[in-house]
Amino acid sequence: MSEQTLTGEGVTPQAGTGTVVWYRPDTSLTDAIDDETIPPSDRSAERDRFETTRRRAREELEAERDRTADHVGQEEAAVFDAHIQFLTDPQIEDSVSTAIDAGSSAERAVQTAFEDPIAQFEGMDGKMAERADDLRDVRDRLIRSLTGNERVNLTTLPAGSVLLADRLTPSDTAQLNPNQVSGFATVTGGRTSHAAIFARSLGLPAVVGVGSELKRIEEGSNVIINGATDEIVVNPNDETLAAIDTGTTVDVRPNRVETTDGTEIEVAANVGRPTELARAVEQGADGIGLYRTEFLFLDRETPPTEREQYETYVEALEAFPDGRVVVRTLDIGGDKQISYLDLPDEENPFLGERGIRRSLGVDEDLFETQLRALLRAAADTSGGTLSVMFPLVSTVAELDAALDYVDTVAGSLQAEGIEYAIPELGVMIETPSAVFMADEFTDRVDFLSVGTNDLAQYVMAAARENERVADLHDPLHPPVLRALHRSVEAAHRSDIWIGMCGEMAGDLTFTELLVGLGFDELSMSAVTIPKVKSNIVTTEKARASDVAARALTANTRSDVTNIINNQ
Ligand code: PEP
Ligand code: MG
């Protein structure tokens, strides 16, 4: 088959090759079931097909039960025992046999056999009614397996897989093992969606927002996912394979860096989980500039406890004994959904209950637990310095309420005789309102950190996940640049530091512009740290300031692009 190239938005500046595995979690099972009548001569084979599938389902359930017992707990593992019981229920078994004898396919027979038991449990109260969900799970597992629509287990993809999907959620991406998976591509999505950000933290080659063309790539095809060139090459020929640029390696600089004329810029890593700390250290990060703590809440059944969180934050501080670790309080909502928190189904979640809005409202308990853990960790002197910042703040009242919360938590810890310290406190600049109120914010906090992923989407009214408006969701648009300038000026007027932790900070083409705008710190996925540090040491601050000043006078994105490209 001939080679074909599709394009989308590259996420990680890396390439990988492998075999396509499609992930289709939303396929309707009813559509997958064939209505044909099975001739009498084939019915015994149909019964065998059911038996084999049932045996396999049982083995899978037993393995899931054991894994859950080891990693989560015995109580949670018990649900799989209930599923195994349903799988071997004699009444269901009889109904399947009868339906196959009457000419149903095995999948149609399974569907019929589960109808009555599900209806019976649905009619009951409380816990018994929940049994209907367990039955549906078992039924769907069998039908998926019989129809070849099995749910792909993202944690155990075979080595060399390239995952293709319509879309991936952040928790889907979090399950991918970078040692097994060679990359992924999605039909929808933008480079600053959280699924993409996760891919970057994992160092996984990825291209998103490819469009429906992607759906034409067949399961099992050979592909190259090239995040550096925004391309997916299907059935690459030997020449193309040989020419893949796996990226030039750059020396890791473990120490702090400065421009040629002596301005030091802190270069830190964005992380979401403890497993990412080692990579951040390896890549020469000066510290952590954004710890997205909501990722600690994914892939589990209940929120992490105060103790677990305390240990997690101390672990991060110990990874950077001479550095700063900026922990962001919970930023749930938007595209970060957490199943057990029962988030509302909002019309427009990015403009809804997100970040600090939830922490000061429905998630107040979680906020309190998190602040307790953070204040306790701030007192730990075995590691670096802890800083805490609040996400998606849009009013002074919200910021005041969050800061009051810190005082209240400190008061409780004091009363309980528990050791604590007040960390450095900061606020994210992610909304236009925060930019307009930056002078009032800087009177109240020790630092600002700009989240350009959100700031660009709110300034430009272009969703960060929507590939159709990717051109508008670009931080080089003059209004976004002016918002950055205004924030830097506000911070420096109050003599506090300002960093950037949005994806713009790790874009190698922007280093000079950001140094010129006056950012004191840049925080990014670990994978880009060596290159950004190497850009900084060859940047002259005086020249960079001139580039930034000229960019700030430009009226269009293309003028800004020309200025930063020295044209
Ligand atoms: C941002 O909005 O730029 C940011 C860093 O926060 P997040 O990407 O987690 O929304
Ligand atoms: Mg944000």
**Of 69-83, 259-273, 525-539, which range is least confident?**
69-83
Q: Could you confirm whether 194 is annotated as catalytic?
A: yes
Strand partners, 165: 23, 186
The answer to whether residue 312 scores a pLDDT higher than 70 is: yes
Alpha carbon of 216 to ligand 1 centroid (Å): 32
Alpha carbon of 312 to ligand 2 centroid (Å): 21
pLDDT of residue 524: 95
Strand partners, 19: 161, 222
Burial of 322 (0-12, 13-18, 19+ CB in 10 A): exposed
Q: How far apart are CA 245 and CA 119, in angstroms?
A: 58
- Kindly indicate the confidence band of residue 352, based on its pLDDT and cuts at 50, 70 and 90: very high
Whether 523 lines ligand 1, by a CB cut-off of 6 Å, is no
Residues 188-223: b if buried by 16+ CB within 10 A, e if exposed: bbbbbbbbbbbbbbbbbbbbbbbeeebeebeeebbb
Q: How far apart are CA 412 and CA 438, in angstroms?
A: 30
Does an H or E element contain 524, and which? Answer: strand 521-524
Residue by residue, DSSP assigns 248-278 as -------S-EE-TTS-EEEEEEEESSGGGHH
Which pair of tokens denotes residue 421?
């310290």
pLDDT of residue 28: 67
For residue 463, give Cα distances in angstroms to 83, 169, 190, 193, 325: 41, 16, 9, 9, 29
pLDDT of residue 27: 62
Ligand located closest to 191 CA: 1
Q: How far apart are CA 260 and CA 237, in angstroms?
A: 44
Which residue puts its alpha carbon closest to atom 8 of ligand 1? 453
For residue 502, give Cα distances in angstroms to 358, 499, 534: 21, 9, 20
Q: How far apart are CA 478 and CA 486, in angstroms?
A: 12
The answer to whether residue 448 scores a pLDDT higher than 70 is: yes
Which pair of tokens denotes residue 191?
């480079």
Q: What percent of the chain has pLDDT over 70?
A: 97
pLDDT of residue 371: 98
Whether 430 lines ligand 1, by a CB cut-off of 6 Å, is yes
4-20+159-243 against 40-147: fold identical = no
pLDDT of residue 262: 97
Contact 207, 467 (CB under 8 A): no
Q: How far apart are CA 517 and CA 488, in angstroms?
A: 7
Residues 121-149, mean pLDDT to the nearest whole number: 82
pLDDT of residue 301: 82
Say which residues have a Cβ less than 8 Å from residue 290's Cβ, sequence separation at least 6: 268, 270, 271, 326, 328, 449, 501, 523
pLDDT of residue 567: 57
Q: Class for domain 4-20+159-243, per CATH?
A: alpha beta
Alpha carbon of 558 to ligand 1 centroid (Å): 25
Which is nearest to 498 in space by CA: 423, 426, 400, 391? 426
The answer to whether residue 222 scores a pLDDT higher than 80 is: yes
Alpha carbon of 453 to ligand 1 centroid (Å): 5
For residue 353, give Cα distances in angstroms to 54, 197, 262, 408, 546: 43, 21, 43, 23, 40
Residues 357-383, mean pLDDT to the nearest whole number: 95
- Alpha carbon distance, N-terminus to C-terminus of the chain: 42
Alpha carbon of 478 to ligand 1 centroid (Å): 20
Q: Which residue has the tokens 């009868």?
A: 98
pLDDT of residue 549: 97
pLDDT of residue 333: 86
What average pLDDT does the structure give for the chain?
Answer: 91
pLDDT of residue 445: 98
Which residue puts its alpha carbon closest to atom 1 of ligand 1? 451
pLDDT of residue 147: 81
What is the greatest pairwise CA distance in the chain? Answer: 86
Higher confidence at residue 546 or residue 299?
546
Whether 453 lines ligand 1, by a CB cut-off of 6 Å, is yes
Burial of 244 (0-12, 13-18, 19+ CB in 10 A): middle
Residue by residue, DSSP assigns 323-338 as SEEEEEP---BTTB--
Alpha carbon of 530 to ligand 2 centroid (Å): 24
Q: Could you confirm whether 83 is annotated as catalytic?
A: no
267-564 folds as TIM Barrel (3.20.20)
Whether 501 lines ligand 1, by a CB cut-off of 6 Å, is yes
Alpha helical stretches, state H, 88-150: 90-101, 106-122, 126-147
Which residue puts its alpha carbon closest to atom 9 of ligand 1? 292
Q: How far apart are CA 197 and CA 524, in angstroms?
A: 10
Q: Which three-class secondary structure state does DSSP give residue 534?
A: helix
Residues 322-331, mean pLDDT to the nearest whole number: 97
- Kindly indicate the confidence band of residue 381, based on its pLDDT and cuts at 50, 70 and 90: confident
Q: In this predicted model, what pLDDT tens digit does every residue of 137-156 receive, in sequence order?
A: 889 889 888 887 777 788 88
Residues 377-399, mean pLDDT to the nearest whole number: 95
Q: Which three-class secondary structure state does DSSP give residue 103?
A: coil
Which residue puts its alpha carbon closest to atom 10 of ligand 1? 454
Catalytic residue among 83, 473, 477, 501: 501
The four Cα atoms 31, 34, 35, 41 give a dihedral, to 10 degrees, of -170
Whether 465 lines ligand 1, by a CB cut-off of 6 Å, is no
Residues 412-427, mean pLDDT to the nearest whole number: 98
Catalytic residue among 83, 194, 473, 477: 194
pLDDT of residue 314: 97
Q: How far apart are CA 95 and CA 71, in angstroms?
A: 36
Whether 451 lines ligand 1, by a CB cut-off of 6 Å, is yes
Q: In this predicted model, what pLDDT tens digit does every residue of 228-248 receive, in sequence order?
A: 899 999 999 988 888 887 656
pLDDT of residue 247: 59
pLDDT of residue 155: 84
CATH number of 40-147: 1.10.274.10
Say which residues have a Cβ less than 8 Å from residue 393's Cβ, sequence separation at least 6: 355, 356, 399, 402, 427, 428, 430, 431, 434, 441
505 phi and psi angles, rounded to 5 deg: -65, -30
Say which residues have a Cβ less than 8 Å from residue 288's Cβ, sequence separation at least 6: 268, 269, 270, 271, 277, 280, 316, 319, 320, 323, 324, 325, 326, 327, 523
Higher confidence at residue 360 or residue 156?
360
**Of 152-161, 292-301, 334-343, 421-430, which range is least confident?**
334-343
Whether 452 lines ligand 1, by a CB cut-off of 6 Å, is yes
For residue 473, give Cα distances in angstroms to 150, 452, 464, 466, 557: 36, 10, 6, 9, 11
The answer to whether residue 335 scores a pLDDT higher than 90 is: no
Whether 309 lines ligand 1, by a CB cut-off of 6 Å, is no
Q: How many CB atoms lie under 10 A from the CB of residue 248?
A: 6
Which residue puts its alpha carbon closest to atom 3 of ligand 1? 451
- Kindly indicate the confidence band of residue 376, based on its pLDDT and cuts at 50, 70 and 90: very high
Ligand located closest to 449 CA: 1
Best residue among 326, 453, 480, 498 to mutate for probing ligand 1, ranked by most atoms within 8 Å of CB: 453
Alpha carbon of 451 to ligand 1 centroid (Å): 5
Alpha helical stretches, state H, 151-245: 170-174, 194-202, 238-242
Best residue among 197, 271, 292 to mutate for probing ligand 1, ranked by most atoms within 8 Å of CB: 292
Residues 267-293, mean pLDDT to the nearest whole number: 95
Domains of the chain: which residue ranges? Answer: 4-20+159-243, 40-147, 267-564
Residues 510-532, mean pLDDT to the nearest whole number: 96
Q: In this predicted model, what pLDDT tens digit does every residue of 523-562 receive, in sequence order?
A: 999 989 999 999 999 999 999 999 999 999 999 999 999 9
Residues 91-119, mean pLDDT to the nearest whole number: 92
Whether 331 lines ligand 1, by a CB cut-off of 6 Å, is yes
- Kindly indicate the confidence band of residue 564, based on its pLDDT and cuts at 50, 70 and 90: very high
Q: In this predicted model, what pLDDT tens digit does every residue of 160-208 receive, in sequence order?
A: 899 999 988 877 887 888 888 999 999 998 888 877 888 888 888 999 9
